[in-house]
Structure formats: structure tokens, C-alpha cells
Amino acid sequence: MIRAITIEREFGCGGSKVASLVASRLSWRLWDEELTREIARLTNCTPQAVEQREWRTDARAYRILEDFLRGAFEGRLPPIDRLQLLDARRIAAVSEQAVVTAFSSGPSVIVGRGSDYFLRNRNDVFRVFVYGSRDCKIRRLIATGVPQDAAIKQVDTTDKHRAAFVARNLGLKWPNRCLYHAMFNTDAGESCVASLLLQCAKQFESDSEMAIDSSG
């Protein structure tokens, strides 16, 4: 029986919406923003600080994080024992702990944060990657209110940062297609992809159960 579905995604392709639809249709718990909050709790930081540092490896992003923390504490950082400063390696380590917590919480849809990799050896997890064309991703961001120039820049740079983060901290190529049971193009629409994903997950579960029965 499938206990979790992990959804890794390209930036701007609507992966979070797909995950929300899947979780809603299954009545499962959704770990997306909640996963960021769990990472923040484990590192004694705010979710905003984690979001600023997630997937980034460059020194400028770290300086931004330090500036954010200094502002939050009225111009000076508290003693180090009261605040664990984030860097990319710490986020990578803590992310695994957060993903395990999410998985242990019960039937769940877990979005990104390395969940496909951290749960790769479990046969009760259905691992998915969703992607989209550059034009559709840009249009999707603009539709949410992001200015066109910013949307183009985000689509063209965010996944490069993500790939660099995964290569440096997990030693993997991103996306690592061998990790996934299925990949979907969200140009077809989030609702369509959610339906296809659920059909594939159901077939995956059925085939897995048949394999267990035949081996027994």
C-alpha cells in the first residue's frame, strides 16, 4: 500500500497546485509549506529565513540571510546557542529529518525538499516529477501577479540554483530521472496532471500488491 506520494517539480510549473489537488482528492495530509515550517522549527529560524536560503549556494544569498536575521533581532544577532545559523549544508541535513517526520505522520503528499531522494528506498512511496515548458511557466507566474521581467528571471535561474544545491550537498544530478516512477508535463493543466498522477499511483499500488502476492 502506498503511504506517501512525493512530488518534485520545476519552478513555476504548478507543482504545488498539483500536490494540493492530489492531497485533497485522497484526503491525505499535504506537506508543502508545512515542510518549510518544520525545517524552520528544527533550525530555530523563521519560515521566511528558510525560504530565502533554500536551494541557494551563493555567498550573496547567505549575506541576505544574515541581514534578515540581524533585522529580526534589532540589528544584532543573538548568542549562537540561541540561534542556529542556516547554510546550504545544514538545510540539506535538516531537510531529511523533516521529510522523515512528514512520512511518519501518516498518508501524505510531500512536495520537494529532497523527499524523492530521502525516501528512495521505500517501496510504499510513489515518486513523481512534474515539469513544464518555459513559456507556460512564465505565463503561470505572471497570472499570479509576478511582473513579466521577474517571472522570466525566476524561471531561468531558480532551477539552476536548485541543481547546484543538489549537486553540492547530495552529490546528485537534478533532476535525477531514475528516482521517479512517473513524470508529467503540466502544460496539460494541473487538474489533468493530478488525475493522471492518481491513475498511475493506483496502478503502481495494484502492480506492487500483485508482485508481493506472487512472490509469497
Question: Are the C-beta atoms of 111 and 15 separated by less than 8 Å?
Answer: yes
Bridge partners, 108 (sequence order): 4, 29
Domain count, the chain: 1
Q: Residue 64 is part of a domain; what is its CATH number?
A: 3.40.50.300
Q: Give per-residue pLDDT as tens, 22-67.
A: 999 999 999 988 888 887 788 776 666 555 555 444 444 444 334 3
Q: Give per-residue pLDDT as tens, 114-168.
A: 899 999 999 999 999 999 999 999 999 999 999 999 999 999 988 888 788 778 7
SS3 of residue 140 by DSSP: helix
Number of neighbouring beta carbons within 10 Å of residue 66: 14
Which element (helix H / strand E) includes 29?
A: strand 29-31
Most confident of 59-68, 75-84, 152-161, 185-194: 185-194
Q: What is the pLDDT, as a whole number, of residue 172?
A: 79
Reported as a pLDDT band with limits 50, 70 and 90, residue 181 is very high
Q: Residue 85 above 60 pLDDT?
A: no
- Region 16-22: what's the mean pLDDT? 96
Residue ranges making up the domain that contains 10: 4-215
Q: Residue 169 above 50 pLDDT?
A: yes
| pTM (two decimals) | 0.79
